[in-house]
Homo-oligomer: A and B are copies of this chain.
Amino acid sequence: MQPMSIDRLETPCLLVDEARMTRNIDRLKARLARLGPTLRPHLKTCKSVDIARRLMPSARGPATVSTLKEAEEFAAAGVRDIMYAVGIAPAKLDRVLALRRQGVDLSIILDGREQAVAVAASSRAAGDRIPTLIEIDCDDHRAGVRPDDPLLVQIGRDLHEGGAELRGVITHAGGSYDAIGVAALERAAEQERAGTVAAAKALLEAGLPCPVVSVGSTPTAHFARDLTGVTEVRAGVYVFFDLVMAGIGVCGVDDIALSVLTSVIGHQRGKGWILVDAGWMAMSRDRGTANQKVDQGYGLACDVSGNVHPDLIMVETNQEHGILALRPGSVAALPELPVGTLLRILPNHACATAAQHDRYRATDGGLVTAVWPRFSGW
């Protein structure tokens, strides 16, 4: 497209600072090149073919997805190595098999024997050994089998002897989102590595295969010092970063590539409020920084060029209204922002904010240089 000025966009809309995004992508790429494992980027954050191609090692993958809709969309765009990294519901196996018949190496994950028996039965019925990874619980935060639980080997046998392909083990150190500071992040990364490698060892010692040892979260991917025994790393939100990641020290505020462009639509001067046309519909209801040291409300306000307005945050939202005010205790001056002024709001959680929009506007300074469609749904 012909570059156009940001001033000509309708608000609210979603912006991606392409230079920052490229810096974020290159940073993780360089780290993993040093550490060894392959990067299998998680495409649930971007849900965009244009951005996915910048993340993956090649146009064919590998990639991680959180829905079968993502798997289908990226497969249609030529991706051939995809992991669907949410515990499988047996009713979804027909869609999995349909994608595999199209030549996509689609793998799935699970953490229970009921699921393993169902996957093995589907594999036999379809004459297709569905590649399956066992989800490991490395930090007690959500799903998965503990590495030392005898259930792990039982599930492995259900799969391997039942007719599926036991491809390996996978974990997600979701607990790392609560780690703050370098030492805590390094510990979370080592806990994730050690637990997953221990699970792989248990399978191998039981005479079962375990070619893939997959770990991943944006915080641990950026703070792991050693990934011995790990074959691949997954991460998603690093492509944009966000205020939650800045709050735990994975990035700086000036690394955040995603923002919502909004217009000032009114003032309540007695209360120190500036009203804008980005509410929770544009920002999402995510309050991920609420329990961090610095609560950013629903987002941090910047001028149209991306310079932070000190302490100006979105303190409240309705569906199509955002209320900006100085954060409690601030001694900054409330900027004078007439009706019509354009602002950029940095989000708490890039995955949630991006999900509220159907396209990205790529920006270079004050110019829009590309429109990248984004899909949603299941």
List, in ascending order, chain B residues with CB within 8 A of A355's CB: 281, 356
The copy count of this chain in the complex is: 2
Which listed residue (B92, B323, B340) contacts A142, Cβ 8 A? Answer: B323
What distance in Å separates the Cβ of A133 from its nearest Cβ neighbour in chain B?
A: 14
| A57–B264 CA distance with the chains assembled, in angstroms | 34
What distance in Å separates the Cβ of A273 from its nearest Cβ neighbour in chain B?
A: 8
| A285–B352 CA distance with the chains assembled, in angstroms | 8
List, in ascending order, chain B residues with CB within 8 A of A339's CB: 89-90, 112, 114-115, 118
List, in ascending order, chain B residues with CB within 8 A of A377's CB: 357-358
Which listed residue (B86, B266, B318) contacts A112, Cβ 8 A? Answer: B266
What range describes how many residues of A lie at the interface? 35 or more
B320–A142 CB distance below 8 A: no
Q: Which of A44, A87, A90, A376 has the most CB of B within 10 A?
A: A87
What distance in Å separates the Cβ of A120 from its nearest Cβ neighbour in chain B?
A: 14
Q: Which of A95, A110, A287, A320 has the most CB of B within 10 A?
A: A320
Which listed residue (B88, B318, B378) contacts A10, Cβ 8 A? Answer: B378
| A89–B338 CA distance with the chains assembled, in angstroms | 11
Judged by a CB distance under 8 angstroms, whether A18 is at the interface is no
B351–A319 CB distance below 8 A: yes
Query: A10 and B92 in contact (CB under 8 A), knowing A112-B267, A265-B87?
Result: yes
A340–B112 CB distance below 8 A: no
What distance in Å separates the Cβ of A312 from its nearest Cβ neighbour in chain B?
A: 18
Judged by a CB distance under 8 angstroms, whether A321 is at the interface is yes
Judged by a CB distance under 8 angstroms, whether A91 is at the interface is yes
**Interfacial residues of chain A within 79-100, with CB under 8 A of chain B in the complex:** 86-92, 95
| A210–B377 CA distance with the chains assembled, in angstroms | 45
Chain A residues packing against B (C-beta within 8 Å): 10-13, 44, 66-67, 86-92, 95, 110-112, 114-115, 118, 137, 142-143, 174, 263-268, 275, 277, 280-282, 284-287, 318-321, 323, 338-340, 351-352, 355-358, 376-378
